[in-house]
Amino acid sequence: MPPSEFLGIASAPPGAALDLALVRAQLSAKRLGSSFHYLQEIDSTNSYARQLAEVGTAEGAIIIAESQTQGRGRLGRRWQSPPFSNLYLSFILRPDLSPRHAPQITLTAAVAVAETVGAFLRRAPSIKWPNDILFDGKKLAGILSEAVCDTERVEYVILGIGLNLNYPVDAMPEELRGRATSMADLTGARVSRENVLSRLIQDLDRCYGDLGESGFEMVRPRWEAHFDLRGRRVRVDVGGRPLVGWARGLDREGALIVEDEQGERRSIVAGDVIPLEI
């Protein structure tokens, strides 16, 4: 995309701190943004958010860091978090959900991130189940949600989002190049972190509100609209055991439906999905 067509060009110089006052001035969120916690550097915004949640910090708190020394990804992976270039943030959510429905928060967040990215790039990204945001098959954003539950209800969810904005592929570690991308690489222009952040909070606020008020049925078709593995042959590693079949979309609760070679449909609640060639 030529930079001139891109709506979110940065005016702040490279390496500038996030202008949180500007972000807040652009917000009219109902649920999110009850408090902001801005850190120059932290091990992980999810870990910090959890400490805040444990001492009763209210729903909607947003924890943002300029860099993370131990940014965490799914399945024990690391999340590269260089300073002043991307977005690393976590939300404290206290949804009225049963523990088995907690993964719906992640799916809902994936819709919000995809909608934000789509608004800036003017082309929708895809979602790789459950929550990777991909552009042309390369990872642009990731979501890590961690729920704390009692037997009946979710007590709180820490929803962490990492979004690659001004992170040139050339500066990424060798093992990420070819597999990851950033908005600046996709647009050819440095991106306003403030504009993307305020839009992301706004989109998440709306999607989370839809989930709370109307249930997952309101979110599911929007998630599926971004799911480009529907009908594709996939392998899902479920607890270390591979299941091969065809991805059929999400069931009513948010589990991935995979139809195996015998035509039996299985609902997968956790795992990693890998597309297969045939």
Please, what is the minimum distance in Å from the beta carbon of residue 12 to ligand BTN? 21
Q: Does 73 bind ligand BTN (CB under 6 A)?
A: yes
Separation between Cα atoms, residue 186 and residue 155, nearest integer Å: 38
| Residue closer to ligand BTN, measured from CB, 6 or 196 | 196
Report the residue number, 81 or 245, with the smaller CB distance to ligand BTN.
81
The reply to whether 144 sits near ligand BTN by the rule CB under 6 A is: yes
* Residue among 46 and 202 whose Cβ is closer to ligand BTN: 46
Per CB under 6 A, the list member of 8, 60, 130, 162 interacting with ligand BTN is 162
Give the residue with the Cβ less far from ligand BTN, 89 or 196.
Answer: 89
Closest C-alpha to 8, from 118, 83, 91, 103: 118
Among 130, 160, 245, 254, binds ligand BTN (CB under 6 A): 160
Cα separation of 124 and 92, whole Å?
Answer: 27
Which of 152/175 has CB closer to ligand BTN?
175
Question: Is residue 44 near ligand BTN by the rule CB under 6 A?
Answer: yes
Find where tokens 């088995």 sit.
100
> Under the criterion CB under 6 A, does residue 222 sit at the interface with ligand BTN?
no
For residues 60 and 67, what is the distance between their CA atoms, to the nearest angstrom? Answer: 21
- Tally of CB atoms within 10 A around 220: 20
Quote the CA–CA distance of 213 and 1 in Å, as a whole number. Answer: 37
Torsion sign over Cα 190, 193, 195, 199: positive
Q: Is 78 in the site for ligand BTN (CB under 6 A)?
A: no
Residue of 23, 60, 66, 90 interacting with ligand BTN (CB under 6 A):
90
Q: Is 68 among the residues that bind ligand BTN (CB under 6 A)?
A: yes
Which one, 72 or 190, has the nearer CB to ligand BTN?
Answer: 72
- Which residue type occupies 105? I
Q: Is the dihedral of CA 226, 230, 234, 240 positive or negative?
A: positive
- Quickly tell me which residue has 């991106």 as its tokens: 191
Q: Calculate Rg over the CA atoms of the chain.
A: 18
Minimal distance, residue 65 CB to ligand BTN, in Å: 8
Check if the beta carbon of residue 102 is closer than 8 Å to that of residue 149. Answer: yes
Q: Give the shortest CB-76-to-ligand BTN separation in angstroms.
A: 9
Contact present, 87 and 120 (Cβ < 8 Å) = no
Nearer to ligand BTN, 143 or 154 (CB): 143
Q: Is 116 in the site for ligand BTN (CB under 6 A)?
A: no
Binding stretches for ligand BTN (CB under 6 A): 44-46, 68, 71-74, 77, 79, 88-90, 132, 142-144, 160-162
